[in-house]
Structure 1
Amino acid sequence: MRPPKLPRTLAVAALAVAAAMVAAPAQAATRTPQAEVQRQVDRVLAGHPDARQSAPGTVTFAGGAILEIPEAGTMATACTAGWYCFYADNDFGGRKLSFHDCGLTQYLTNYGFGNQTSSWRNTSVNTVYADDNNTQPPTQMWTEEPKSEAAAVGATFDNRADSFYTACG
């Protein structure tokens, strides 16, 4: 009768554990909050050749719109005076997409932000009309009057905006 190969099995297991211990710090280093934000930025840039990274966690599109991706657990910066901003989370949290132009319809889907708005802030003199284009005819969901805000769009409209028209003020 052959003896069991227990020592060899233990040696293989010990090598596997040692390899995992060596690899863990390297994997942890690439999972930092900054690295996750950069991965998100890279995904946006890959889908928008006209966009550029203008700061850490910030993408500027050819038309001037700015996407800010904050680290998990942190807030995006405040909406710049004269701009209007869409936020992915309630209470002006999560990713923020900012605009300052007027007189045209724009599609949030063109910026990777379709059906992702939960709150908004309008610090401009313009009036913004947010729409859901997944209905026929499209549904106007809310109006952003100049110098106004909504910390939550409400359950009915949460994550449904995919376009908006901005009337010059």
Structure 2
Amino acid sequence: MNLRKGLAFAGVTILTAATASQAHAAEPSELQQQIDTVLANTTGGVQISPNEIAWEGGQAIMSFPLPGEEVAPPSSQAAIDLQTQQAGVSKQSVKAAAAAGEALAAASDSCPTEVFGNDWYCFYQYRDFGGRRLQWNQAKHDVVFFSQFDFVNKTSSWSNKGGKYIYVQGRSQTGYDRSCWEKPLILWQEAPHTSKAFVGSSLDNKADCFWTSY
């Protein structure tokens, strides 16, 4: 190989390597891929932070574990802003509570707590409050289907920080949401201010819908 051909070949090799490196750098992270999948499988979701999706102005918020972590972190500032709106409290009161040393996010399960007034209830992808966290604040008298949030059959633990009763049910017919309401499989009831680190083997990954008391 003469010098000119050798340099040309080297140039192609370097260019190809650089192009491949740029393409690799442009690929979304595993976390972003997970978020993109949920957004593609649902309607109305908006990504509000690197690891959170909100629906209906924050009525429902899904939080993902950060890279290298097994548990979703406490709510981001973007989520807190939405939570204060949903709970009907001012940002000033949240800041005052923080200054007084009260926790913004909660105990070990990171389900938002009484600092927001109308406490939240959360569902978790894995036992011990691990994986994705899907949370609500308001009472839901009409059944809510987990399929709307790409969370069908994905609940292994839960935390109910508020005063509502939460009634969790499963489909009696696979793939048919209405069967979760018309002829549901009754799975469990969440009493106010309780939590469960594991729903049990017989109930694990069976939840398809829920509704709440007033």
**Residue type of the alignment partner of 2:139:** C
What do the CA deviations read for 1:36-80 (whole angstroms, capped 9, x no partner)?
Answer: 111111222223341111111100012610011113541113000
Residue aligning to 1:96: 133
What is the aligned counterpart of 1:109 among 147, 154, 167?
A: 147
**What is the TM-score of this pair, normalised by structure 1?**
0.77
Q: Does 1:158 align with 2:158?
A: no
After TM superposition, give the deviation of residue 22 of structure 1 in Å.
Answer: 6.1
| Identity level (%) | 33
Give the distance between the partners of 1:125 and 1:155, measured in 2 at CA: 27
* Structure 1 unmatched ranges of 5 or more: 1-16
What do the CA deviations read for 1:62-105 (whole angstroms, capped 9, x no partner)?
Answer: 26100111135411130001100000000000011001111421
Tell me: CA distance 1:62–1:103, structure 2 relative to 1, closer, same or farther (3 Å): closer
**Residue type of the alignment partner of 1:162:** D
Give the distance between the partners of 2:153 and 2:16, measured in 1 at CA: 40
CA contact (8 A) 2:155 2:204 kept: yes
What is the aligned counterpart of 1:69 among 59, 64, 69?
A: 64
Q: Does 1:121 align with 2:163?
A: no
User: After the TM superposition, which residues 39-58 of structure 1 pair with which residues of structure 2 at under 5 Å, given as runs?
Assistant: 39-58=33-52
Give the distance between the partners of 1:90 and 1:49, measured in 2 at CA: 27
**Residue type of the alignment partner of 1:128:** I
More helix by share: 2
Residue aligning to 1:79: 111
Residue aligning to 2:186: 140
**Residue type of the alignment partner of 2:148:** N
After TM superposition, give the deviation of residue 107 of structure 1 in Å.
Answer: 0.7
Residue aligning to 2:100: none
Tell me: CA distance 1:72–1:89, structure 2 relative to 1, closer, same or farther (3 Å): farther
* Structure 2 unmatched ranges of 5 or more: 1-12, 75-109, 114-118, 174-178
Residue aligning to 2:6: none
**Other structure's SS at 1:79 match:** coil
Q: Which has the larger radius of gyration?
A: 1
Give the distance between the partners of 1:120 and 1:157, measured in 2 at CA: 12
Query: What's the RMSD between the two structures over aligned residues?
Result: 2.6
**Other structure's SS at 2:138 match:** coil
